[in-house]
Structure 1
Amino acid sequence: MDNLNLRSLLSFQAIMQTGSVTAAAKQLGLTQPGVSRLLASLEELVGFQLFYREHSRLIPTAEAKNLAPEIDLLLSNANRFLALAKNIHRTETGSLTMVAPASFNSGPLADAVASFIEKYPKVSISIDSHSPQLARDLVAQRSIDCGFIQLPENHPGLISQPILQSPMVCAVPIEHVLSHHKTLHLHDLTQHPLIMLGQGRPSRHKIEHVFKEAHFQPTIRLETHSVATACAYVKRGLGIAIINKVLAQQYVNDQFKLIPLAPLINHEYGFIYSAYAPMPRLVQAFYRHCIAFFEHASE
């Protein structure tokens, strides 16, 4: 740890994010020469170049790209330490950090968090979205208090508890020939272009499996990894999207409707926390609140 300091790591992270020393200095509230010195000291410490210049931008080397996730974790842990230090003597107040997929965050989680803050107005909450693997690692290492993730989950450093189920539905343009159906079956969809999400993910495997079992071949027009984007394409009449109901409801308007899909395909979300320590008091309160909130919302 000789000569390693947080400001050098922060400078590295800011340059990765902005692509220039000038922008990084502005982001950090430092001078440009100051950021350059911090980067030089980090390069001297690790023993190799971290960036090279291409026109007016700094491009990370392969070594820098390999270091970036570890540096993000180090800085996240440092922030977590500072937050714990500030709140260690508090009882009725405190801070709660969590991670969730972006669509889950802006949809069902937003209402759950709003009602929790109404109940605990002195609690501060930080919510972020990361890739599923990074989210798992951050929670397992206690850099983040808790999170929500699609099940099944088998990370050895996590405990996961089922928290919410949601069926797959069809998002259908309002003028589409199938929009009057109360339920859509696989054979209804085979002659129409589809918008599909999550290639390579468990939910996508489930959809592909039911089509294969029924001996139907879907016609896929568009691939995306965002429920919001899928809904935007549906609104433009580009196809029918097979999507998660609880995430899609936030985007519904008079341009498309959600129709149940048969056979039933369920998404299941879990509440995750680190297996390496007991669940903190505030996390317990939030977990109990979410169980009650989602049970009531599904009634």
Structure 2
Amino acid sequence: MHDEVIDIRLLEAFAAVMSAGSITGAAKLLGRSQPVVTRQIQDLEADVGYLLFSRNGPRISPTPKGILFHAEVERLLRGLKHIRERADAIGAGALPVLSLAAIPALAAGIVPVALATVDRGLMPSQVHVQALSAENVVQSVLAQSVDFGLASLPVQHPGLDIQWVCEVPCVACLAADHPLAKKKVIRLKDLNGRRLLTMANPYRLRRRVETALERAGVAPTELIDTNASLTAIAMAKQSLGIAIVEPVLTASLQLDGVVTRRLDATIPFLFAAISPAGRELTPTVAALNDALRAAITLMPGAKLHEGAAALDDFTDHADQFESTE
């Protein structure tokens, strides 16, 4: 094991090569000569003890270890950038930089609505909003690289404070000219023999959707899954199938060519507001938290549950589905 800290310039060179796809491109991005960047990559590989890139003549491509290492380097460099911004804010006596991570649907849905309502006197000049997977939202909050997070359940971890949990029923999205668009309520049985558009992660919403369909005796003939509900909605618009998604985007964005319909069974989408354990919310983060709570009312049927105690109930009952007929 090496005790010495890796030279930040080597990490910058590595990140630049990953972004540009070549040594030449990285040199231009960094304002360094090509031989310097080449040497820095070689020095970094010698330091970590494995190849970060495979070479084929003038072409290079990241190795599997290089790809994994890049995720860590990217997180570190982003954190250093935030430290610089926070240091500048402290020096200027300004409000601290606000960093928020949320799953894509929430980052595009309720986060902009909430930010627009926060008192201008509490909004810093620098705000960072990252759209990440739920797992990465949790890791970012645990690492305290962000001040606040919004992630779909499960999120239980001793290093997190659960501010609140939101429960909202999923909806069906389909093309405006779809034969089922004339219905006010889509029955799960209406999905039998049709193509379903759903989420890819098997441990979160996807599991609840599949459980509901199984209980209704429904077997879609085809399936397209994706890691973002906006993608599922866009595919529904193109008549590629019927999407079962959380109503975050449908409630906050104008989606032409797509209609949203209630389902005849409640399939709960569950997400939590999280912050680092034991860390008091700053006035800015507290104001954002309040604004997010208010923005939740945009979603039909949304219910707010306070604190970490609600997670135990959801662990026991999240897969119980009720008929709405």
With structure 2 as the length reference, what TM-score do the two structures score? 0.81
Distance apart, 1:149 and its partner CA: 0.7
Q: Distance between the aligned counterparts of 1:189 and 1:297, measured in 2?
A: 23
Q: 1:252 aligns with which of 255, 258, 265?
A: 255
1:42 and 2:44 matched: yes
SS at match of 1:179: helix
The unaligned stretches of length 5 or more in structure 1 are none
Q: Distance between the aligned counterparts of 2:93 and 2:27, measured in 1?
A: 38
Q: Distance between the aligned counterparts of 1:277 and 1:4, measured in 2?
A: 30
Q: Distance between the aligned counterparts of 2:190 and 2:49, measured in 1?
A: 61
Q: What is the aligned partner in structure 1 of residue 95 from structure 2?
A: 93
1:106 and 2:80 matched: no
C-alpha deviations, 1:111-136, integer Å up to 9, x for none? 21222264535442011123332322
Q: What is the aligned partner in structure 1 of residue 139 from structure 2?
A: 137
The unaligned stretches of length 5 or more in structure 2 are 303-325
1:262 and 2:264 matched: yes
SS at match of 2:202: coil
Change in 2 beyond 3 A, CA 1:24/1:270: same
Distance apart, 1:160 and its partner CA: 2.5
Q: Distance between the aligned counterparts of 1:38 and 1:279, measured in 2?
A: 41
Q: 1:195 aligns with which of 184, 194, 197?
A: 197
* Aligned residues of 1:228 and 1:251 also touching (Cα < 8 A): no
Distance apart, 1:232 and its partner CA: 2.2
Amino acid of the residue matched to residue 10 of structure 2?
Answer: S
Alignment of 1:198-237 (within 5 A): 198-237=200-239
Q: 2:164 aligns with which of 140, 162, 173?
A: 162
Change in 2 beyond 3 A, CA 1:100/1:10: same
Q: Distance between the aligned counterparts of 1:59 and 1:117, measured in 2?
A: 47
Q: Distance between the aligned counterparts of 2:133 and 2:30, measured in 1?
A: 25
* Aligned residues of 2:98 and 2:124 also touching (Cα < 8 A): no
Change in 2 beyond 3 A, CA 1:128/1:25: farther
Change in 2 beyond 3 A, CA 1:80/1:205: same
Q: Distance between the aligned counterparts of 2:297 and 2:177, measured in 1?
A: 34
Distance apart, 1:89 and its partner CA: 5.0
**Percent of aligned pairs sharing the same letter:** 28
Amino acid of the residue matched to residue 51 of structure 2?
Answer: Q
Distance apart, 1:220 and its partner CA: 2.8
* Aligned residues of 2:123 and 2:284 also touching (Cα < 8 A): no
Distance apart, 1:168 and its partner CA: 0.9
Q: What is the aligned partner in structure 2 of residue 69 from structure 1?
A: 71
SS at match of 1:88: helix
Q: What is the aligned partner in structure 2 of residue 150 from structure 1?
A: 152
Q: What is the aligned partner in structure 1 of residue 29 from structure 2?
A: 27
Amino acid of the residue matched to residue 147 of structure 1?
Answer: G
Q: Distance between the aligned counterparts of 1:199 and 1:77, measured in 2?
A: 27
* Aligned residues of 1:227 and 1:248 also touching (Cα < 8 A): no
Q: What is the aligned partner in structure 1 of residue 19 from structure 2?
A: 17
The alignment yields a C-alpha RMSD, in angstroms, of 2.5
Q: Distance between the aligned counterparts of 1:108 and 1:158, measured in 2?
A: 21
C-alpha deviations, 1:125-155, integer Å up to 9, x for none? 0111233323222211111221211123113
Change in 2 beyond 3 A, CA 1:67/1:276: farther
Q: Distance between the aligned counterparts of 2:68 and 2:90, measured in 1?
A: 34
* Aligned residues of 1:169 and 1:258 also touching (Cα < 8 A): yes
Change in 2 beyond 3 A, CA 1:263/1:163: same
* Aligned residues of 2:174 and 2:243 also touching (Cα < 8 A): yes
With structure 1 as the length reference, what TM-score do the two structures score? 0.88
- Give the paired residue count: 298
* Aligned residues of 1:117 and 1:123 also touching (Cα < 8 A): no
